[in-house]
Amino acid sequence: MHARSSGIVAALPTVLQAKEFLVLADHWCASVDATIQLRTGCNPLEQHGPQAVIVHADAWAPVTAVADPHDIRQVVDYEVIFLAIRKLEQDDHRICLESSILDVMDAIFSMAIVSEASVSMHKPHVYNGQGTPAISLRLTRGQWQSLNR
């Protein structure tokens, strides 16, 4: 049943999803898309040097957590996310993208107002254009705090 045509607004889910864009209701979302050169992968062909990795990160904060949305010190700062992503380029070779994703998550959750975050990484050149492997992670602050790292 389509919520709009039925008039049942209360039935709308908390998370609204469009084709590739996710919105958490009643939350600000700071997003960053970046392409970086990352030393990662288990395939011997991936271990000769850095490869392009496409990174997407979202950080959500409840609207009520931001007292003044005109003050950069009170909102989710996407530059923190961008710099954390770019910093990954300095890392030694890592076998798994998961390690890099967790580093970005740490930076996102360093902002106290963030309640939920999502990070995905795609490696577009691993299979010579025939497929794009990707790893994604979405966590609430509570889930992030309970990780055994």
HEC string for 75-87: CCCHHHHHHHHHH
Please name the residue that has the structure tokens 């990352």.
Answer: 38
Q: Where are the domains of the chain?
A: 26-145
CATH number for the segment(s) 26-145:
3.30.1130.10
Instruction: Report the C-alpha gap between 49 and 51 in whole angstroms.
Output: 7
pLDDT digits (tens, 9 = 90+) for 111-147: 999 999 999 999 999 888 899 999 999 999 999 999 9
Nearest to 97 by CA among 81, 125, 121: 121
Query: What pTM did the predictor assign?
Result: 0.84
Instruction: Report the C-alpha gap between 33 and 120 in whole angstroms.
Output: 10
pLDDT band at 1 (very low <50, low <70, confident <90, very high): very low
